[in-house]
C-alpha cells in the first residue's frame, strides 16, 4: 500500500497543488482524495489529518436557519438539516439546489475540504419542496402490502432529492404503532413488526443498489427503538415493556434495516422503562452496533439530547452521556456552538474518550466516502426534471389505489358506473393539504392548495363520463334523491408528532358528521371515504353508511382514490392496523383477544 501511496503522490502532485487540495509536506497530495484507494484507507488517512475541532465539527448538525456558510467553514461542520418545512425562498427545486451548493462550497472551503451532508424528512416524497410528488404516508403503504412498490417510491423520492443536492433522508420510520392515539400512527407501516420489516425495501430504493450510485441518498432507520409502543400512545413517552417484547415487536425492523445496509439510524425521543433512548448505551452500542452489527452512524433526534434530564436545554453531562451512549452526530439546531464547546471540554476532561470521537468520525466519514461526496459534492441538476414528473405521479397514483381499504360495501354500491349521477361532499374532498397530511410543505401540513396535485374530487370528475354528472357541495347542502350515490370525503385535519396525539375521543369531528347526516337524510346511498392518519371511532355511525373506504393520507395523486371508487382498480388494500370498535379499546392489536370493529388484515374487494 505504501508504494501505491507514493505512486499516487507523484502522479497527482501537480493536479492537487493546482486545485489547492490538502498537500502533505512529507508525501505530497492527500491519499484520502484518491477514489482508487479503499474507503477504509481513505478514512484512516483523513482521520490522521484531523484536529479535535475538525472531528467535533463532523459530529455537529445545525438547522439551516441558524448557521451561515462562513460558520460552516470556520467550525468545519459536517452536516446541516432542514427541519420540517424549512425551505429556501422561493421554494423551488432550483432554489433548493442553489442553497445546497452554496452550503457545500462553504464546507469544501475548510482546510481538509470535507463535504457536508444535508438532511431532510422526505417521508412521503421530497415533501418540504413545492412541486414534489407526494406519496401516500406509510400507513397507506402498509395497507398496500407491496414492498416492491415501496422500493420504487424510495427510488423516485431519491431522484427528486438528488436534483436538489440533498443527500440524506430521515426516512423510513420503522416504528411499530401499538396505540393509534399516537400522533405518528400514520408514519408507521403497521402494528406488527412484519410490516415495517418487509417495507425496509424503501431503504434499497433510497440508497440504490449501492450507496453513491446515480440518484442515491443516505437512508435513516428511525426512531430507534420502541417509539410506537409508549404508554397511551404518548409521543416521546415511555415504552414500559420487557426486553423480550421490545426485541420481538420493535427491534426486528431495525435488524432488517441494518441487514439492508441502512446508512444511518436516528434515536427515538421516547424512553424504555424510564430511561431516555438518547442515553441508552446498552441499546445503541451493545445491541444496535455490536449485536446487530450496524456500521453506519447514529444521529440524535432534533434537540433530542436536551430531553435526557427532562430539563430545558442541554448540559455538559447530557452531551457526554449521549455521545458515550453511542450517538455519533447530534442534531442541535440552534445551540450548536455550545454543543461543540461542551464536547471539547468533555474530551479534554476525559469524560468522553478520544476513541469514541474517532469511532463517530470513522462512521460518518465512511458514509461520506461511500456516498461519493468527495468526488461529486454538488447537486446533480440533471435530476431536477424528475421533480413531480408524470412518471412519478403515475407511480404515486398506483400507490394510492393499492392503499385504499374497502371496509363496507352494502348491496355492492361500489364500484360506481361512470354515468352515475354523483354528489360529492366533505371538507377533505377538494383539498390537497387535507389529503396529504402532516410533513407536507410545512411540518404540520395544512389545508388548502399547498402544492400542485389532483384532489380526490378532481379524480372523481375525471373518472365520470362528464363532470356534469358530478356535483360538489362541501357541507352536503343541495343534495336530493335524484342522485345515484353520494360520496362524503371526510377525516382528519393535518398534524405531525405530538400535535396529533389523541387523549380523548377518536371520532369524526362535528362538521363531518353533519355533512354525512345531510347526505343520509336524502335517502341516496352514502359512500364515506375516510382521509385520516389512523383508524377513527366510527362504529356508532357506520350502520347509516352504505360503503366505507379507508383512504389514509394519499398525498397529491387523489385520482388513485377514484380509480378504486369507479372500479378501474379493484380494492386490494388490507388493514395494517386493527380498527377499534371504540376508542376505549386502544391499544388494540392483532392477537390481543379484544373484539375490534375490523381486524388487522381486513379488506374487501369487488369480487366479494
Interface residue list for ligand GLC (CB under 6 A): 83-84, 121, 170, 222, 301-302
- CB-hemisphere CA count at 13 Å for 246? 17
Residue 481 in grid coordinates: 334523491
Question: Is 169 designated active site?
Answer: no
Is the CB of 121 or the CB of 546 nearer to ligand GLC?
121
Smallest gap from Cβ 308 to ligand GLC, in A, equals 15
Phi, psi angles (nearest 5°) of residue 372: 80, 15
The DSSP output letter for 2 is H
CB-wise, 84 or 228, nearer to ligand GLC? Answer: 84
Q: Of 57, 142, 119, 155, nearest to 392 (Cα)?
A: 155
The rounded distance, in Å, linking the Cα atoms of 598 and 79 is 45
| 3-state SS string for 133-172 | CCCCCHHHHHHHCCHHHHHHHHHHHHHHHHCCCCCEECCC
Please identify, using beta-carbon distances, which residue of 301 and 501 lies nearer to ligand GLC. 301
Minimum gap (Å) between residue 220 Cβ and ligand GLC:
7
Closest contact distance (angstroms) between CB of 119 and ligand GLC is 7
Q: Smallest distance from the beta carbon of 46 to ligand GLC, in angstroms?
A: 27
Q: Cell numbers 482546510 correspond to what residue?
A: 111
Cis peptide before 172, with omega less than 30 degrees from 0? yes
Residue among 135 and 302 whose Cβ is closer to ligand GLC = 302
With residues binned 3-state (H G I as helix, E B as strand, rest as coil), the percentages for the chain, rounded to 5, are 40, 15, 45
Q: How far is CA 174 from CA 135, 168, 284, 386, 441, in A?
A: 17, 17, 16, 27, 22
CB 170 to ligand GLC: min, Å: 4
CA distance 262 to 271: 23
Residue closer to ligand GLC by CB (options 121, 238) is 121
Residue 121 is among the residues annotated as catalytic for this protein: no
User: What are the grid coordinates assigned to 367, written together?
Assistant: 458514509
Dihedral angle of Cα 155, 157, 162, 166, to the nearest 10 degrees? -130
3-state secondary structure of 491: strand
CA 366 to chain centre: 23
Cβ 608 to ligand GLC shortest distance, Å? 38
Look up residue 578 and give its DSSP letter.
Answer: -
Give the residue with the Cβ less far from ligand GLC, 422 or 553. Answer: 553
By beta-carbon proximity to ligand GLC, the closer residue of 83 and 451 is 83
Smallest distance from the beta carbon of 67 to ligand GLC, in angstroms? Answer: 15
Alpha-carbon gap, residue 189 to 33, rounded angstroms: 41
Measured distance CA(244)–CA(250) in Å, rounded: 10
301 phi and psi angles, rounded to 5 deg: -85, 175
CA dist., res. 577 & res. 598, Å (int): 9
In terms of CB distance, is 85 or 326 closer to ligand GLC?
Answer: 85
With vertex at residue 181, the alpha carbon angle to CA 176 and CA 186, rounded to the nearest 5 degrees, is 50
**Beta strand 60-61 with 330-331: parallel, antiparallel or unpaired?**
parallel
Task: Give min distance, CB of 98 to ligand GLC, in A.
Answer: 22
Q: How far is residue 390's CA from residue 208's CA, in Å, rounded to a whole number?
A: 21
Of the pair 83, 436, the CB lying nearest ligand GLC is at 83
Residue 26's contacts (CB-CB under 8 Å, 6 or more residues apart) are none
Selected catalytic residue, list 146, 306, 431, 497: 497
Q: How far is the CB of 299 from ligand GLC (least distance, A)?
A: 9
Residues in CB range of 37: below 8 A, 6 or more apart: 4, 8, 31, 45
Determine whether 92 is exposed, middle or buried from the number of CB atoms within 10 Å of its CB (0-12, 13-18, 19+): middle
Q: Among candidates 430, 386, 396, 387, which has minimal Cα distance to 554? A: 396
Nearest to 138 by CA among 174, 178, 179, 170: 174
Question: Of the two residues 34 and 301, which places its CB atom closer to ligand GLC in the complex?
Answer: 301
* Least CB distance to ligand GLC at residue 318 (A): 17
Which position among 191, 301, 458, 512 bears the catalytic label?
301
Residue whose CB is less far from ligand GLC, 331 or 406: 331
From the CB of 174, what's the least distance to ligand GLC, in Å?
Answer: 11
Alpha helices in 265-315 (DSSP H): 281
The cell 397529491 sits on which residue? 556
Tell me how far, at minimum, the Cβ of 222 lies from ligand GLC, in Å: 6
| Residues with catalytic function | 301, 497
Amino acid at each position: 500500500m505504501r508504494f501505491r501511496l507514493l505512486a499516487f503522490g507523484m502522479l497527482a502532485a501537480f493536479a492537487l497543488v493546482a486545485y489547492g487540495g490538502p498537500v502533505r509536506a512529507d508525501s505530497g497530495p492527500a491519499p484520502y482524495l484518491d477514489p482508487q484507494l479503499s474507503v477504509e484507507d481513505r478514512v484512516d488517512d483523513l482521520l490522521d489529518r484531523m484536529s479535535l475541532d475538525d472531528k467535533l465539527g463532523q459530529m455537529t448538525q445545525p438547522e439551516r436557519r441558524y448557521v451561515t456558510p462562513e460558520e460552516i467553514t470556520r467550525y468545519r461542520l459536517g452536516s446541516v438539516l432542514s427541519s420540517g418545512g424549512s425551505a429556501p425562498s422561493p421554494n423551488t427545486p432550483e432554489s433548493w439546489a442553489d442553497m445546497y451548493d452554496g452550503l457545500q462550497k462553504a464546507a469544501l472551503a475548510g482546510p481538509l475540504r470535507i463535504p457536508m451532508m444535508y438532511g431532510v424528512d422526505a417521508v412521503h416524497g421530497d415533501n418540504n419542496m413545492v412541486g414534489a410528488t407526494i406519496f401516500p404516508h406509510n400507513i397507506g403503504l402498509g395497507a398496500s402490502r407491496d414492498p416492491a412498490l415501496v422500493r420504487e417510491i424510495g427510488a423516485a423520492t431519491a431522484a427528486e432529492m438528488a436534483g436538489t443536492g440533498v443527500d440524506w433522508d430521515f426516512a423510513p420510520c420503522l416504528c411499530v404503532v401499538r396505540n393509534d392515539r399516537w400522533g405518528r400512527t400514520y408514519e408507521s407501516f403497521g402494528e406488527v413488526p412484519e410490516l415495517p420489516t418487509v417495507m425496509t425495501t424503501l431503504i434499497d430504493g433510497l440508497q440504490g443498489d449501492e450507496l453513491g450510485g446515480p440518484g442515491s441518498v443516505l437512508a435513516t432507520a428511525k426512531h430507534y427503538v420502541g417509539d410506537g409502543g409508549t404508554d397511551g400512545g404518548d409521543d416521546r413517552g415511555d415504552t414500559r415493556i420487557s426486553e423480550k417484547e421490545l426485541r420481538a415487536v420493535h427491534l426486528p425492523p431495525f435488524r432488517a434495516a441494518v441487514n439492508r445496509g441502512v446508512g444511518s439510524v436516528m434515536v427515538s425521543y421516547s424512553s424504555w422503562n424510564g430511561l431516555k433512548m438518547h442515553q441508552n448505551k446498552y441499546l445503541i452500542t451493545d445491541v444496535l452496533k455490536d449485536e446487530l452489527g450496524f456500521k453506519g452512524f447514529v444521529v440524535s433526534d432534533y434537540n433530542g439530547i436536551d430531553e435526557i434530564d427532562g430539563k430545558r436545554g442541554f448540559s455538559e453531562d447530557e452531551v457526554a452521556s449521549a455521545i458515550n451512549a453511542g450517538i455519533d452526530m447530534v442534531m442541535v439546531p440552534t445551540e450548536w456552538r455550545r454543543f461543540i464547546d461542551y464536547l471539547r471540554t468533555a474530551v479534554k476532561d476525559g469524560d468522553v474518550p478520544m476513541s469514541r470521537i474517532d469511532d463517530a468520525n470513522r462512521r460518518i466519514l465512511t458514509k461520506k466516502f461511500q456516498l461519493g461526496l468527495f468526488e461529486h459534492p454538488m447537486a446533480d441538476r440533471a435530476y431536477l426534471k424528475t421533480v413531480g414528473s408524470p412518471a412519478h405521479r403515475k407511480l404515486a397514483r398506483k400507490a394510492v389505489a393499492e392503499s385504499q381499504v374497502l371496509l363496507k360495501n352494502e348491496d355492492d354500491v361500489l364500484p360506481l358506473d361512470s354515468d352515475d349521477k354523483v354528489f360529492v361532499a366533505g371538507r377533505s374532498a377538494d383539498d390537497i393539504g387535507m389529503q396529504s397530511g402532516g410533513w407536507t410543505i410545512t411540518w404540520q401540513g395544512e389545508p388548502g392548495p399547498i402544492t400542485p396535485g389532483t384532489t380526490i374530487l378532481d379524480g372523481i370528475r375525471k373518472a365520470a363520463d362528464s363532470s356534469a354528472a358530478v356535483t360538489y357541495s362541501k357541507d352536503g347542502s343541495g343534495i336530493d334523491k335524484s342522485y345515484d350515490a353520494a360520496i362524503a370525503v371526510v377525516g382528519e385535519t393535518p398534524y405531525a408528532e405530538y400535535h396529533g396525539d389523541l387523549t380523548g375521543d377518536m371520532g369524526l369531528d362535528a362538521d363531518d358528521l353533519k355533512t354525512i347526516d345531510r347526505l343520509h337524510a336524502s335517502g341516496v346511498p352514502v359512500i364515506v371515504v375516510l382521509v385520516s392518519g389512523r383508524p377513527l371511532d366510527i362504529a356508532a355511525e357506520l350502520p347509516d353508511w352504505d360503503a366505507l373506504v379507508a383512504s389514509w393520507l394519499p398525498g397529491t395523486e387523489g385520482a388513485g382514490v377514484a380509480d378504486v371508487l369507479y372500479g378501474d382498480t379493484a380494492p386490494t388494500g388490507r388493514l395494517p392496523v386493527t380498527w377499534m370498535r371504540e376508542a376505549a379499546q386502544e391499544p388494540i392489536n392483532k392477537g390481543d383477544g379484544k373484539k375490534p370493529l375490523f381486524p388487522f388484515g381486513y379488506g374487501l374487494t369487488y369480487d366479494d
